[in-house]
Chain A
Amino acid sequence: MKKTTVSNYRYQSVFGEMVFDEISVQIPDTCDPRKIRRADALEGIDYSLSVSEIKKMERDLALSYFSKCYRVIMLGERTISVEELKGIQDILNVNRSEFGKLLGLHKGSVTNLFKGKAMKPSLCILIMERLGMELGRPGSARHMLDGGNPEAQVPEARKIINQTRYFRSQAA
């Protein structure tokens, strides 16, 4: 397989549709990458998109969704649909039980949400806040689920803190 970059690539998700430039696609070896500059030329070709490219596009779409809908949801004029909820779950990169933990919900309540049960406005706001947090700082949902303990990720920091304590106790 060969990689090539195309412009004018139209990508659609539950958050809407957007046209992207500089999207890297993988095409079969038999195709000439010089002839494929625009997304229209991909018509009829068995091309594939890498997960990192898909994530990039999904994040951009989610960002536009967030900036468009956060205020409306906060004012209680709109709620989150099941499809959007699945999209948010994809962006957070968590499974349903983890999604429940992030929202402080029981497993059964999460299942009900995904079955289309009406959501309280406060829950909608919390979901949007979790989405905003993830978009602002990728990986923060996972970090929160892991206990939000930065020391566990930076053993050097732990070592320095322990050393400082040791010197302090010596001085005392």
Chain B
Amino acid sequence: MKLTDARTLLKEIRNKDERISIRPHAWKDHPERKFSPLELVRLLQGKGGLHDNKYPTAAAGSFLWICRDEDGRKTELAIVFEADKSGDLIVIIHAYREIGNEKNNSK
């Protein structure tokens, strides 16, 4: 899927809870980042931008949702689009944010 199509699809379905799912890896494997699954959903449904995932270790077909959390820290969510019987799904597969600079509230 190309970035433009991905943006259109994301805009269409990101506010529908039933069309979003999360891999437990996104919030469980790095407890130091202190993500909760509902926070990930709130970040995805809030302000941000979708970009190509250019990390060398990126999952095939994944995109990066880049936004800022409520402490002003840069946050990146890796998402993929999957299809099931009822249509397209957004799957949050990975989440990253810097830790230790909670005081940096610059936006």
Contacts and interface: CB of A to CB of B under 8 A. Distances in A.
Interface residues on A, range: 20 to 34
B38 A58 contact: yes
A49 interface: yes
Given A90-B42, A95-B70, A51 B83 contact: no
A54 B82 contact: no
Contact of A48 (B17, B46, B85, B91): B91
A96 B72 CA distance: 12
Contact of A86 (B36, B82, B84): B36
Interface residues on B, range: 20 to 34
Contacts of B89: 1, 26
Contacts of B93: 48
B18 interface: yes
A36 interface: no
Contacts of A3: 84-85
B23 A46 contact: yes
B75 interface: no
Given A48-B21, A51-B37, 16 more contacts: A1-B82, A1-B84, A14-B36, A26-B91, A47-B23, A48-B91, A49-B21, A51-B41, A52-B18, A54-B37, A58-B37, A58-B38, A83-B34, A86-B36, A90-B39, A95-B46
Interface of B: 17-18, 20-25, 34, 36-39, 41-42, 46, 70-71, 82-85, 89, 91, 93, 102
